[in-house]
Amino acid sequence: MPGPARPSGLRAALQGLTTRGRSFLAAGLTAALCAYLFGQSALFQVGVLLAVLPLASALLLVRTRYRVASGRRLSPQRAAAGQEARVHLRLDNVSRVPTGLLLLEDKVPYVLGPRPRFVLDRVEPRGFREVSYRVRSDLRGRYPLGPLQLRLSDPFGMCELTRAFTAADVLTVVPQVLDLPPVRLPGESAGQGESNTHALALAGDDDVIPREYRHGDDLRRVHWKSTARYGELMVRREEQPLRARATVLLDTRETAHRGSGPASSFEWAVSAAASISVDLVQRGYRTRLLTDTGRAHPQHGANTTTAETVGVLLDALAVVEHSDGGGLNRAEEVLRLGGEGLLVAIVGDLDEDQTERLARLRRRAGGAVALLLDTGTWSGLRHLFPDSADEQADTAIGRLRAAGWTVLPVRAGDSLPALWRAADRTQNSVPYRDEVGA
């Protein structure tokens, strides 16, 4: 709860005279001047009364000694795009005298709606009042709420003083999360989450899947060929417990998406990444979000709960923006050092080089699913070059499937739950042929 607010300063009070107060003051001074010029004592008394009333009201506000404090609570703290959130305000009178007329106004961004205003006529000593309002945004992001402004007014409406509290809160608007059907994903082991099953790393130089050296690793496990190749100390994977891992790769390249606003292909991809990430976390996968910039979320801790992981992922997706990158090389570097497990890629337009890079990532994953967006259907311009667009898409789909990916073509208006159902590994019998170079 922020510090209390109290009006102070006669000059500030005079500056806070309302239109009514200034009109009374001007009328009083004019009447007093006319009375002096024409010798009308009765008119002079009326003028003095009119001029004194707004000044007395301002003085009354200045000498008011009550103190108030405010608090704000959001329900929920994270709201999905298009979902309403309620903001609860509480005003406490921490003084020993009742307040006068109070006007509350909370500062909110214009995308959340108009500024809420409330009128409180009186708050008893040590009492409080609670009010609430709703906000809603179709655009994800982080939006500041506050600070709360308090307007003090005298009973005659002659003077108003505005005081602002210092505290503010942040409403996080996250992408829409859709419920996905349960499916058996490519590369999924029988034991999800923690498993007592163990696996042995392949011992051959050509088949070994190395990882970076970690403090405490046995130096006898150093794989020198991989160390020379990657330029850092790498060790051979040995017997280790199987734990379901997943990486959701989101293509944020501005050149790879079409459309604008909530109806763009980029926003569809962000919502899909949120839905798939949450579904995998809830199914026991140790899930991370990776963008083409190479930035990964979250950094897992030993005691990270499901709710905390979901919160970190949604917070990251709430503020993700377009990148100016032209390829997937930075994401490939991250996956090269630790890409085992399930890989789900949500990508936009791909040229030949990017398709090859994405195909190579299959070697680092136990299973791979690609949602390939036909972004031309979001722009409405696909009909201008339908043959070339179809040819490019077919080439990318064929190359990825040949590399072992389960590819789900996506068009504007497609339902993510229906597409996800098509990723069921029992419905996909495309064999994995290792045709991609290291």
User: What does the H/E/C string look like for 298-365?
Assistant: CCCCCCCCHHHHHHHHHHHHHHCCCECCCCCHHHHHHHHCCCCCEEEEEECCCCHHHHHHHHHHHHHC
Look up the pTM and report it: 0.75
- Per-residue pLDDT at 4 exceeds 60: no
Domains annotated on the chain, with CATH: 9-64 (no CATH), 68-174 (2.60.40.10), 245-429 (3.40.50)
What span, in angstroms and rounded, lies between the C-alpha atoms of 40 and 231? 100
Q: Tens digits of per-residue pLDDT, 111-146?
A: 998 999 999 888 899 999 999 999 999 999 999 999
What is the percentage of the chain residues whose pLDDT exceeds 90? 46
Count CB-CB contacts under 10 A for residue 235. Answer: 21
Q: For 427-436, what is the mean pLDDT?
A: 44
Three-state DSSP at 126 gives: coil
Q: Tens digits of per-residue pLDDT, 14-47?
A: 788 889 999 999 999 999 999 989 888 899 999 9
What is the pLDDT, as a whole number, of residue 299? 58
What is the pLDDT, as a whole number, of residue 202? 36
Angle 83-89-94 (CA atoms, 0-180°, nearest 5)?
170
- pLDDT level of residue 247 (50, 70, 90 thresholds): very high
Q: For 133-161, what is the mean pLDDT?
A: 89
Main-chain phi, psi angles of 166, to 5 degrees? -95, -25
- pLDDT level of residue 347 (50, 70, 90 thresholds): very high
The set of residues, in sequence order, having a beta carbon less than 8 Å from that of 187 and lying 6+ positions away, is: 341, 342, 365, 366, 367, 368, 425
What is the pLDDT, as a whole number, of residue 388? 53
Closest of 175, 378, 137 to residue 263, by C-alpha: 378
What span, in angstroms and rounded, lies between the C-alpha atoms of 348 and 180? 21
Residue 353 vs residue 431, higher pLDDT? 353
- Per-residue pLDDT at 237 exceeds 60: yes
Round the average pLDDT of the chain to a whole number and report it. Answer: 83
Residue 306 vs residue 325, higher pLDDT? 306
Count CB-CB contacts under 10 A for residue 60. Answer: 16
The set of residues, in sequence order, having a beta carbon less than 8 Å from that of 293 and lying 6+ positions away, is: 252, 323, 325, 330, 331
What span, in angstroms and rounded, lies between the C-alpha atoms of 378 and 389? 13
Q: What 8-state DSSP symbol labels residue 81?
A: T
What is the percentage of the chain residues whose pLDDT exceeds 70? 83
Q: For 182-201, what is the mean pLDDT?
A: 54
Q: Does residue 302 contact residue 261 with C-beta atoms inside 8 Å?
A: no
What is the pLDDT, as a whole number, of residue 7? 46
- Per-residue pLDDT at 438 exceeds 50: no
- pLDDT level of residue 78 (50, 70, 90 thresholds): very high
- Per-residue pLDDT at 406 exceeds 60: yes
- Per-residue pLDDT at 97 exceeds 90: no
Count CB-CB contacts under 10 A for residue 390. Answer: 13
Q: Maximum Cα–Cα distance for the chain, whole Å?
A: 115
Q: Does residue 32 contact residue 51 with C-beta atoms inside 8 Å?
A: yes
